[in-house]
Amino acid sequence: MACTLLGCASDQQALRQIDQREIFNDALFAADVYVPAPEAIFALREQDKIELKRAFARSQSKRQNLISPHVWLGQYINAHKGGFAYQDNITRIADDTMTDRQGNCMSLVVLSASLAEVLNIPVKIQDIEVEPIWDRRGGFYLVNGHVNLKLLAPTDNQSIIVTKSEILVDFLPERAIRGYRATVINKQRLVAMFYNNVAAEAMVQGDYDTAYAYAKQSLETDPYFVSGVNTLAVIYRHKGQDKLAEKVYRHGIALDEDNLITLYNLSLILGEQDRLDEWAQVHKKLELARIANPFYYFDMAQQAYFDKEYQHALTWYKRAVEKADYRHEFYFGLSRAYWATGDERRAKKHMEKAIQLSSADNKHRYQLKLQAMQGH
C-alpha cells in the first residue's frame, strides 16, 4: 500500500461535494489523541519573536544600505546551506523546528511562514509537482512530494528598498527543482498537508490511533485533499476494514479519477478479491505510469546486480539517477556496480555522492565502505 507525503492540489471547480461523514469511523480508534489546532502549528514563543525582530533591527543598524526584510529572512533561514538540518521523516510544528533546527520540507515551510508573519513579509506557498518518488519505509511505500515557500518583497508604501522580488526558501537548491511545475496553494491546503504528513509518519510507527486522528483532521481542514483520503483508506486497510477502505478509495477517485496512488491501492484490494475485470481496468492506467517511476529502474538494477549482471545493473542504476538524481541509494548502487566491474575510480566517486546525499542513518555506513575502498 502507498500513502502520500505532501501531494498535489486538485481543481476544486470540477469536484462535486461528497458527504465525508460516510468515510469516517471514529469507533475503530481511540478518542484521546491530541491534534494541534492550525494556529498551534504556526505558533512561536514570544521570546523567539522578540529575538527575531531584534536580529533584523541589528542587521539594519550595521548597514549603510538597508536590506529588505524578505532578503534578510532568507539569509537568516539559509536552508539549502545548512541553516536547518534536513530530516525527511520528521514533520514538526514551527516552534519545534525553531528549537531543534531540523525537520523536513514541510517543517521548514511552516516555520518560514511563521517567521515571515512576525516581520510582516508576504509569502507564496508552492506545491512542487515533481514526478512521484516511491520511498520504502516501515513496510509502506511513501510517495514523496515537495513543498516550498517564496518570501515576497514588502508591499507597503514606506518601503523604498529596490531588490529582488522573491526569495526561495527550500532545502533543495533552486536548480534542482527548475523545470517542475509549481502550484500556488493556500494556507488551508498547507495545513491539510501538514496533518497528512504526521498521519503517514504515525502509520509507519504502527500508531493507527494517531494516524487516524491526523488523517481525519486533514480532511476536515480540506475535504478535497485526495492524499488525505488515500491515507485514511490505508489506515482502514491496516485495521482489517477492507470494505470501508474500498469505499474511501472510491471517494478519492471521485475527487480525482487519475490519482495513481489511489488507483494503485484500490487495485490491491481488487486483486486480493479476484475481481479481475475491475483490476485489469485499473492496472492498465498504472502500467503506463510505472515506467516513469525511478524505483522501477532501481528495482531492475538491484535484480541485475544480485544476478551478477553488473553492466546491466549500471544501465538501470543510471536510468534511476536520471529520474531522481537526489536519491542516495541510487548512487550507492552505482558505486557497488562499478566496484564489481573493477572501475574503482567511479566506484569511489559515486560512494562520495551517496554520502553527500544521505541522512545520518546511512552516512556512517557509506563512509565505512568508502574507507574500505580507499584502503584497498
Residue, of 162 and 49, whose pLDDT is higher: 49
The three cell numbers of residue 298 are: 532501481
- Averaged over 16-32, what is the pLDDT? 82
Tell me the pairing of strands 182-185 and 102-103. unpaired
Rounded to an integer, what distance in angstroms lies between the CA atom of residue 307 and that of residue 249?
Answer: 38
User: How does DSSP classify residue 359?
Assistant: -
pLDDT tens digits for range 46-69: 999 999 999 999 988 877 678 899
Is residue 179 very low, low, confident or very high in pLDDT (cuts 50, 70, 90)?
low
Rounded to an integer, what distance in angstroms lies between the CA atom of residue 254 and that of residue 285?
Answer: 16
Confidence at residue 13, expressed as pLDDT on a 0 to 100 scale: 38
Rounded to an integer, what distance in angstroms lies between the CA atom of residue 225 and that of residue 219?
Answer: 7
> Closest Cα to residue 311, out of 346, 287, 337?
337
Rounded to a whole number of angstroms, the CA Rg of the chain reads: 23
The three cell numbers of residue 205 are: 510507527
Domains of the chain are 14-191 (3.10.620), 294-374 (1.25.40.10)
Q: What is the dihedral of CA 155, 174, 9, 92, to 10 degrees?
A: -90
Confidence at residue 18, expressed as pLDDT on a 0 to 100 scale: 53
Rounded to an integer, what distance in angstroms lies between the CA atom of residue 297 and that of residue 330?
Answer: 10
Is residue 14 very low, low, confident or very high in pLDDT (cuts 50, 70, 90)?
very low
Confidence at residue 131, expressed as pLDDT on a 0 to 100 scale: 53
Judged against a pLDDT cut of 70, whether residue 361 lies above it is answered with no
Beta-carbon contacts of residue 296 (< 8 Å; ≥ 6 apart) = 290
- Averaged over 161-172, what is the pLDDT? 72
Q: SS3 for 115-177, per residue?
A: HHHHCCCCEEEEEEEEEEEEEEECCEEEEEEEEEEEEECCCCCCCCCCCCCEEEECCCCHHHH
User: How does DSSP classify residue 87?
Assistant: -
Judged against a pLDDT cut of 80, whether residue 12 lies above it is answered with no
- Averaged over 17-39, what is the pLDDT? 88
Confidence at residue 89, expressed as pLDDT on a 0 to 100 scale: 74
Q: What is the dihedral of CA 112, 218, 15, 183, to 10 degrees?
A: 20
Q: What is the pTM of this model?
A: 0.72
Confidence at residue 140, expressed as pLDDT on a 0 to 100 scale: 60
Residue, of 341 and 21, whose pLDDT is higher: 341
Judged against a pLDDT cut of 60, whether residue 162 lies above it is answered with no
Least confident of 124-138, 218-232, 321-335: 124-138
Q: Name the region of 308 (left: φ>0; alpha: ψ -120 to 50; beta: rest).
A: left
pLDDT tens digits for range 225-252: 999 999 999 999 999 999 999 999 999 9
Rounded to an integer, what distance in angstroms lies between the CA atom of residue 104 and that of residue 366?
Answer: 22
Strands (E), the chain: 2-5, 85-86, 102-103, 123-137, 140-152, 166-169, 182-185
pLDDT tens digits for range 76-99: 988 666 677 777 778 999 999 999
pLDDT tens digits for range 266-315: 988 999 999 999 999 898 888 877 777 788 788 889 889 988 999 999 99
Average pLDDT score, the chain = 85
Alpha-helical (H) ranges within the chain are 38-42, 46-61, 69-77, 94-100, 105-118, 174-177, 187-204, 208-221, 226-238, 242-255, 260-272, 276-290, 294-306, 310-323, 328-340, 344-357, 360-374
Q: Name the region of 138 (left: φ>0; alpha: ψ -120 to 50; beta: rest).
A: left
Judge residue 311's burial from the number of C-beta atoms within 10 Å of its C-beta, 0-12 exposed, 13-18 middle, 19 or more buried.
exposed
The three cell numbers of residue 62 are: 550595521
184 has which bridge partners? 126
How many percent of the chain have pLDDT more than 90?
A: 55
